[in-house]
Amino acid sequence: MQSFTRCMPAVRQIRLSNTAFQRAAIRRPAASQILAQRRWQSSEATTSATHEGNHEHSGEGPPASKPAIKYTSETYPELKRDSKFAELTPEHVKWFRETLGTDSAILDGVNQDAGDDMEPFNSDWMRKYRGHAKLVVKPGNTEEVSKILKYCNDNMLAVVPQGGNTGLVGGSVPVFDEIVINLARMNQIRSFDDVSGILVADGGVILEVADNFLAEKNHIFPLDLGAKGSCQIGGNVATNAGGLRLLRYGSLHGNVLGLEAVLPDGTIVDDLCKLRKNNTGYDIKQLFIGGEGTIGIITGISILCPQRSNALNVAYFGLESFEKVQEAFREAKNQLGEILSAFELMDGRSQKLYNTASGNRLPLEGEHPFYCLIETSGSNTEHDQEKLEAFLEHVMGEEIVSDGVVAQDQTQIKELWGCREGVPEHLGHWGGVYKYDLSIPIGEMYSLVEECRERMMKAGLLGDSEDKPVVDVVGYGHMGDANLHLNVPVRRYDKAVEKELEPWVYEWVQKRHGSISAEHGLGIAKKPFIGYSRSETMVRLYKQIKDLYDPNGIMNPYKYI
Amino acid sequence: MQSFTRCMPAVRQIRLSNTAFQRAAIRRPAASQILAQRRWQSSEATTSATHEGNHEHSGEGPPASKPAIKYTSETYPELKRDSKFAELTPEHVKWFRETLGTDSAILDGVNQDAGDDMEPFNSDWMRKYRGHAKLVVKPGNTEEVSKILKYCNDNMLAVVPQGGNTGLVGGSVPVFDEIVINLARMNQIRSFDDVSGILVADGGVILEVADNFLAEKNHIFPLDLGAKGSCQIGGNVATNAGGLRLLRYGSLHGNVLGLEAVLPDGTIVDDLCKLRKNNTGYDIKQLFIGGEGTIGIITGISILCPQRSNALNVAYFGLESFEKVQEAFREAKNQLGEILSAFELMDGRSQKLYNTASGNRLPLEGEHPFYCLIETSGSNTEHDQEKLEAFLEHVMGEEIVSDGVVAQDQTQIKELWGCREGVPEHLGHWGGVYKYDLSIPIGEMYSLVEECRERMMKAGLLGDSEDKPVVDVVGYGHMGDANLHLNVPVRRYDKAVEKELEPWVYEWVQKRHGSISAEHGLGIAKKPFIGYSRSETMVRLYKQIKDLYDPNGIMNPYKYI
């Protein structure tokens, strides 16, 4: 392998031809691969301590051990099936079969034992949530979704809208016997205008399929995330997915121009506007963006897609303090301006653990308290290179950054990104991880990690010896979006650790007016904790919206609010 | 004056030092100046033909003639004061006086004749709309707004929220005796974080004040428009203003991170989130963005502000056809990518009329069927210059563009922008203008102008002689946003012309799924025409939202939906 080019004294830079798309494909394995690797693995670590659902655990376990996933109804014993919902009968199934017409659109566990076929629809890929659904329906078009919802609403049958089922908070699998409405068959791209960059597509289109389609037209989908090979764009919109392009292209609330959605009563919200500007009426579609399928099902989206960038560069730095990280971010915004596409933070401990657990070497010699990964993408390779050079000279000259490297080829780009993206995956090495996805005003972002570490030290829970449950307390995340992932890798899940963490973490975030769920949503996992991020007034207003659109409460019950 | 630099064979470019902000100040007169020039002028042209309120007229009249503005209640005789609203009494006024505490916060036309003092609150700057309000209240903080609204709601007193009163559809002035709630006293910037770029400010802060404040911090407000010297950011958000930076920075739906708003029942919607990511609950704030003050009053906003650009360049082209314009736009998006900040369209006729009416010379010799103005803004002058050069060489080499100039200094930048921004102002030269602010899928955008011209020709209404009412039919606008301004300059307003225009224009737009109001909103002017851009289902859903938040209907009645 080539050695990295050191930032100073001379910065060199490779030119990547047609890189943006190739690189994306190389850098991150498609979620389908990840799912293939992960599905039905590491169950012990994830299930043993999630009974209260109040943190997101992950761990690595041997593929051989595949005990059955615990039912959500067991993990959350306080949840009871709402008796207002009807129980599925063969007559119901008959109606669905006749309405959908084709056998392949129904998975019937009412009249027969659907067995393992039902499992992927009942469980999530993390093996944390598992429902008791006995019926999966796969509508082929919006009218069928409308008929299905109206029927369910009229008959008090609870439903769960399901896209790629790649969520992290248990939002897309049933809790009890809700009917799964799976969007996989609605997978058509409806139109694309290469002058305006506006794409219209079914909600069930896989994100990667949409992005590949756009790549051929020299455009990109304004959202990218690890699960792109499996997740569906309707689900992305329903969960207001954040992902890797948010810093540059903004949130879905700005990029989604129109929606088609179906309300529980069968009403088709026909707001599939293909215009950047349309100031005629309340922007109702926004309620479905991040509504997590609790007021309707998104069947189509219209979205503004940017031009694809020709040039891509990645650099990796060591820094002395979080103050320097903030300075570097300010300078990056200032000097890289319009080409800055990622500014990721990893603390020194996260990099050390990544190194230990993965065996992958770190790009820089020596140890630094903080590391950053910067990505630029722009329309001109030379210009981007010059800007990056000037930026590097400045931040190193001013001693904002202690050391750094710039990737010279795609392998190195992948390796540098690996130091960021490999962190969550490898932190489970010691047994498990307590994970929090938080949004915190940027100046105070890292204090939480420091205070949490002190807290664990004081409680005598953190140390190098086997008798200490906590290996370390680390922080990393999307600095550009003030989105911190606080991770506590542990040798074993431990009540004493949990007691120190919660509700302390949520209270800490609440005091700073942060968010207890930056990008993962509420689902079932965060439902009980919304009060830490939203006032009573806001929660009351959310309930009002829920009642307005779903008075019978059939949509994705037991979740969200 | 220096001559412009021709694009070919050699493209030269000036380097502007610290231009972005200086230029903005030079390029467009502040709205306060515009208002000073325009207020109480040109009344005949605007009022003589607006009796049905179904198009936006403008014209130029001598400052000397200032007949009283016609009351909206006379212009729209079909509107009747809703008898469910209470009439203001001295007891009401007493309550407001006691609650607000200070005399300067009240303008009382109930107990006394407020005379001319009341006029600026009762009328709009275009002199098209005029109400009968007898009370103006100016709350000093959110709690006062809450108390006022609760009192009004309890006592069935109708209100009009009012910001800078610079709207174009009559949304910010009363129709009958609604109480004006003016936000001018709520003008404090609450906080700014220069790492995240997040600004929090009162709704009554003037846009230009906010932008000047941000300029000192090397940031910009992600919205710019002609009325910046008068309009308030709360009003901008309430009307979902589009303006000049939308192509680059996107819409307010993406940039506004949080809102503080007061509902009619006094509830304070405390959603003043200072986070880029917060996936906890329905994004209710979006309903207030573009809600035009019909469900609540925006008292504070939190908004993401980009870094200010160092470099600014402007070029002006002549093109052979609208197909070439589209090609040029595609190439500009492709080659200028991240630095493209404006792509404006002017047809040849609009430029010719601008030249005739203003006496200002046009930058290019000869006549071209279409003209474009391109602006770039980026972090590096040399890079931007190189990109622009390469783009120009390409579009001229490929004969996409017939001819072009690049501004060399701020005077020329101003002059080039004048060719675009001077159009609406000078089209009134012949007597008046029928104006439409439309959003149309970009490929078909210009066909409307051509068909409209043919229509006028066929009807025998267009010609050079005095007996023809129509001078010409022209189109210009924000090509980058597919926002067309269809303008029909006339020698006099004429029923025969109106009959040809309406509902034909709206029907034409409806067939293309366009918008009858791209950026100006609905207000009172477009209320009757929402059906041309939205389905019955959507209108029903809008009414549902209105009823949910404002069951008594006291907020900005007679408007919107």
CB within 8 A of B280, min separation 6: which ones?
Answer: A515, A516, A517, A521, A522, A526, A530, A533, A534
Q: At residue A265, what is the residue type?
A: D
- Coil, strand or helix: which one is A497? helix
By the CB < 8 Å criterion, does B336 face chain A?
A: yes
Residue A479 has pLDDT above 50, yes or no: yes
Render pLDDT for A264-319 as a digit per residue (tens, 0 to 9): 999 999 999 999 999 999 999 999 999 999 999 999 999 999 988 889 999 999 99
- Out of B290, B386, B482, closest to residue A276 by CB: B482
Tell me how far apart the alpha carbons of residues A224 and A305 are, in angstroms, rounded to a whole number: 12
pTM of the predicted protein model:
0.88
Residue A237 has pLDDT above 70, yes or no: yes
Q: How far is A85 from chain B (nearest CA, A)?
A: 24
Note the pLDDT of residue A23: 29
Is B439 in contact with B448 (CB distance < 8 Å)?
no
Residue A432 has pLDDT above 90, yes or no: no
Render pLDDT for A538-558 as a digit per residue (tens, 0 to 9): 999 999 999 999 999 999 999
For A173-201, what is the mean pLDDT? 96
Residue B346's DSSP bridge partners are B371, B476
Tell me how far apart the alpha carbons of residues B349 and A89 are, in angstroms, rounded to a whole number: 69
The rounded mean pLDDT for chain B is: 88
Residue A27 has pLDDT above 60, yes or no: no
Note the pLDDT of residue A227: 87
Note the pLDDT of residue B493: 84
A 434-463 near B (Cβ less than 8 A)? 439-443
A 489-528 near B (Cβ less than 8 A)? 513-522, 526
In angstroms, how far apart are the furthest CA atoms of chain B?
A: 76
Instruction: Report CB contact under 8 Å: A538, B289.
Output: no
Note the pLDDT of residue B40: 25
For A431-447, what is the mean pLDDT? 91
Q: Residue A512: closest CA among chain B residues belongs to which residue?
A: B274
Strands A474-478 and B135-137, by their bridges, are unpaired
Is B407 in contact with B14 (CB distance < 8 Å)?
yes
Residue A52's DSSP bridge partners are none
Instruction: Report CB contact under 8 Å: A273, B513.
Output: yes
Highest mean pLDDT pick, A328-332, B89-93, B101-105, B306-310? B89-93
For A394-413, what is the mean pLDDT? 93
Residue B286 has pLDDT above 50, yes or no: yes
For B484-502, what is the mean pLDDT? 93
Contacts of A218 in chain B (CB under 8 A): 334
By the CB < 8 Å criterion, does B293 face chain A?
A: no
- Out of B240, B254, B336, closest to residue A253 by CB: B254
Residue B376 has pLDDT above 70, yes or no: yes
For B465-487, what is the mean pLDDT? 95
Note the pLDDT of residue B127: 81
Other beta carbons within 10 Å of B465 = 6
Tell me how far apart the alpha carbons of residues B536 and B208 are, in angstroms, rounded to a whole number: 39
Confidence category of residue B68, pLDDT binned at 50, 70, 90: confident
Confidence category of residue B21, pLDDT binned at 50, 70, 90: very low
- Out of B291, B307, B526, closest to residue A337 by CB: B307
B 115-154 near A (Cβ less than 8 A)? none
Residue A244 has pLDDT above 90, yes or no: no
Note the pLDDT of residue A428: 87
Residue B14 has pLDDT above 70, yes or no: no
Confidence category of residue A3, pLDDT binned at 50, 70, 90: low
Interface test with A, best of B217, B268, B292, B338 (most A CBs within 10 A): B338
Instruction: Report CB contact under 8 Å: A194, B276.
Output: no
Render pLDDT for A76-89 as a digit per residue (tens, 0 to 9): 999 999 999 999 99
Q: What number is the ipTM of this complex?
A: 0.88
* Segments of B154-228 assigned E as strands: 159-162, 179-182, 189-193, 198-202
Render pLDDT for B177-224 as a digit per residue (tens, 0 to 9): 999 999 999 999 999 998 889 999 999 999 999 999 999 999 999 998
Structure tokens that stand for B156 in this block: 């069935």
The rounded mean pLDDT for chain A is: 88
- Out of A276, A338, A517, closest to residue B379 by CB: A338
Instruction: Report CB contact under 8 Å: A442, B195.
Output: yes
Nearest to B401 by CA among B315, B335, B507: B315
The distance from CA A183 to its chain's CA centroid, rounded to whole angstroms, is 19
Nearest to B302 by CA among B233, B378, B218: B233
- Coil, strand or helix: which one is B173? coil
Note the pLDDT of residue A359: 96
By the CB < 8 Å criterion, does A19 face chain B?
A: no
Instruction: Report CB contact under 8 Å: B276, A246.
Output: yes
Strands A403-406 and A5-6, by their bridges, are antiparallel
Confidence category of residue B36, pLDDT binned at 50, 70, 90: very low
Q: How far is A75 from chain B (nearest CA, A)?
A: 22
Confidence category of residue A69, pLDDT binned at 50, 70, 90: confident
Alpha carbons within 13 A on the beta-carbon side of B190: 20
B156: left (phi over 0), alpha (psi -120 to 50) or beta: left
Other beta carbons within 10 Å of A5 = 17
CB within 8 A of A531, min separation 6: which ones?
Answer: A539
Note the pLDDT of residue A232: 98
Residue A204 has pLDDT above 50, yes or no: yes
For A378-397, what is the mean pLDDT? 92
Instruction: Report CB contact under 8 Å: B483, A277.
Output: yes
By the CB < 8 Å criterion, does A330 face chain B?
A: yes
Note the pLDDT of residue B102: 85
Q: How far is B64 from chain A (nearest CA, A)?
A: 36
By the CB < 8 Å criterion, does B155 face chain A?
A: no
Confidence category of residue A26, pLDDT binned at 50, 70, 90: very low
Note the pLDDT of residue B57: 44
Q: What share of chain A is helix, strand, coil (3-state, %, to 5)?
A: 40, 20, 40
Note the pLDDT of residue B126: 76
Q: At residue B438, what is the residue type?
A: L
For A43-58, what is the mean pLDDT? 34
Render pLDDT for B528-561 as a digit per residue (tens, 0 to 9): 999 999 999 999 999 999 999 999 999 999 999 9
Burial B279-309 (b: 16+ CB within 10 A, else e): bbbbbbbbbbbbbbbbbbbbbbbbbbbbbbb
Is B294 in contact with B178 (CB distance < 8 Å)?
no
Burial A419-434 (b: 16+ CB within 10 A, else e): bbbbbbbbbbbbbbbb
Instruction: Report CB contact under 8 Å: B282, A295.
Output: yes
Q: How far is A419 from chain B (nearest CA, A)?
A: 23
Alpha carbons within 13 A on the beta-carbon side of B378: 29
Nearest to A311 by CA among A367, A381, A255, A258: A381
Tell me how far apart the alpha carbons of residues A432 and A347 are, in angstroms, rounded to a whole number: 19
